[in-house]
Structure 1
Amino acid sequence: MVSRRSAAVVLSSLLLVGSAWGWAPAGQAHEGRHRGGVLCQGDSTSTYDPPLTSASRSTRVHTDAWYTCTVEPGRTVHATGSLDGVSPSASCDGLSNPRITEVVKYDDGEQSLILYDQGTTVRTAGVLDVTLSGRVAEGRGKGQSARRDVLLALPQQLPTECLSSGLRGNNGQAQLVIQP
């Protein structure tokens, strides 16, 4: 039997995938000349320093991601992402005004350097959707917009760590979209 929380995560994931596939990645994946879209999906693990609590404060964020990416129609590659940055106002309820950099290394030898300068957090039905928006500064997709969504399943109440020692990290499902 599927819990309501699991159903909400699956439904939200399907909506994200559907919206991203609507633009159908296209283009050539040749060094710096790639002008089509890229769609990556996979697991994401984040750590926070200091740990997140119910009070907002400046927090360093580090995230590791493992993606499968569609870089052109019918062509997928594996990739890893490493995100680092600071949210000047972070709590268990989300991140505000993050300044985060992601380096995506594709297994075909290409890379993307993404600078995120906007972020939102939406909590509904036990699911926290953290969205980062920015631009690709270098490599595959240079000059194109980037959007990263991470869906985190949360208990209906704040985790007990938020009220005591703080939440040191979390895991979720990530989707990265690079598009013209």
Structure 2
Amino acid sequence: MFGMRGAAVALGSLALVVSSLVWAPDSQAWPGGGQGAVTCTGNSEGRYAPPLVLLPQPTRIHADVRYLCTVRTGHTVPATSSFDSSLTMASCASDSDALGVEKVRYDGGGRSVIVIDSATTARVAGVLFVLQSGRVTEGRGAGHQVRRTVAAPPRQLITDCLTSGLRGSSSGVQLEILP
């Protein structure tokens, strides 16, 4: 019903709206020494260990993310990141928390280490939406607040919860480092 394309369109639309709200003058944006707003939009491939099943269980997630970051008006920088989370209890029906650490590496140099310390999770029409917040603890944007939005359509059939479990997800991700 919603599908991967619908999730991508929704996340892209969200990125456009948010980027227009968090725009920073060139003198305040990266690169060039400033600490203005940065909006990164991309895709992630996540893996659950152990796979998610019907009953909640301690679970870890690792995701590799490819971003395109708008660091000032008209200037984008590719970036990659890894996100790691040790979920306390998770199942096919819900992730109890999606707290963790994301390490972003910007092409051309620089990095940001981000601690996600708050999350809200909802599943709508089979799509998992996670709204996260936290702060940059090291590197570019250190001390700045962060918003992270994840939209993950199911990659496996929900019936996999009854057998092998859900092993991972492909997601659209938007990361905002606020001014």
TM-score class, shorter-chain normalisation, is 0.7 to 0.9
Structure 1 residue 17: deviation in Å? 1.5
CA deviation digits over 1:96-115, x for unaligned, max 9?
A: 23331110000020100000
Q: Is this contact kept in 2: 1:34–1:140, CA < 8 A?
A: no
CA distance in 2: counterparts of 1:4 and 1:119, whole angstroms: 23
SS in 2 for 1:162: helix
Larger mean Cα displacement after TM superposition, 83-92 or 17-26: 17-26
The TM-score normalised by the length of structure 1 is 0.87
Inter-CA distance 46–12: structure 2 relative to 1 (3 Å threshold): same
List alignment gaps of at least 5 residues for structure 1.
Answer: none
CA distance in 2: counterparts of 1:28 and 1:4, whole angstroms: 35
Inter-CA distance 58–4: structure 2 relative to 1 (3 Å threshold): closer
Q: Is this contact kept in 2: 1:40–1:69, CA < 8 A?
A: yes
Inter-CA distance 4–44: structure 2 relative to 1 (3 Å threshold): closer
CA distance in 1: counterparts of 2:120 and 2:45, whole angstroms: 18
CA distance in 2: counterparts of 1:55 and 1:25, whole angstroms: 45
CA distance in 2: counterparts of 1:82 and 1:178, whole angstroms: 16
1:91 aligns with 2:91: yes
Q: Is this contact kept in 2: 1:44–1:64, CA < 8 A?
A: yes
CA distance in 2: counterparts of 1:153 and 1:102, whole angstroms: 21
Structure 1 residue 158: deviation in Å? 6.3
Structure 1 residue 12: deviation in Å? 2.5
Q: Is this contact kept in 2: 1:87–1:96, CA < 8 A?
A: yes
CA deviation digits over 1:73-104, x for unaligned, max 9?
A: 21111000101120102112332233311100
Q: Is this contact kept in 2: 1:114–1:136, CA < 8 A?
A: yes
CA distance in 2: counterparts of 1:147 and 1:28, whole angstroms: 17
Matched residues, number: 176
1:168 is matched with: 167
AA at the equivalent of 1:23: V
1:17 aligns with 2:15: yes
AA at the equivalent of 2:46: S
Inter-CA distance 7–85: structure 2 relative to 1 (3 Å threshold): closer
AA at the equivalent of 1:28: A
List alignment gaps of at least 5 residues for structure 2.
Answer: none
Inter-CA distance 16–28: structure 2 relative to 1 (3 Å threshold): closer
The TM-score normalised by the length of structure 2 is 0.87
CA distance in 2: counterparts of 1:78 and 1:11, whole angstroms: 20
AA at the equivalent of 1:13: L
Structure 1 residue 123: deviation in Å? 1.7
Structure 1 residue 11: deviation in Å? 4.8
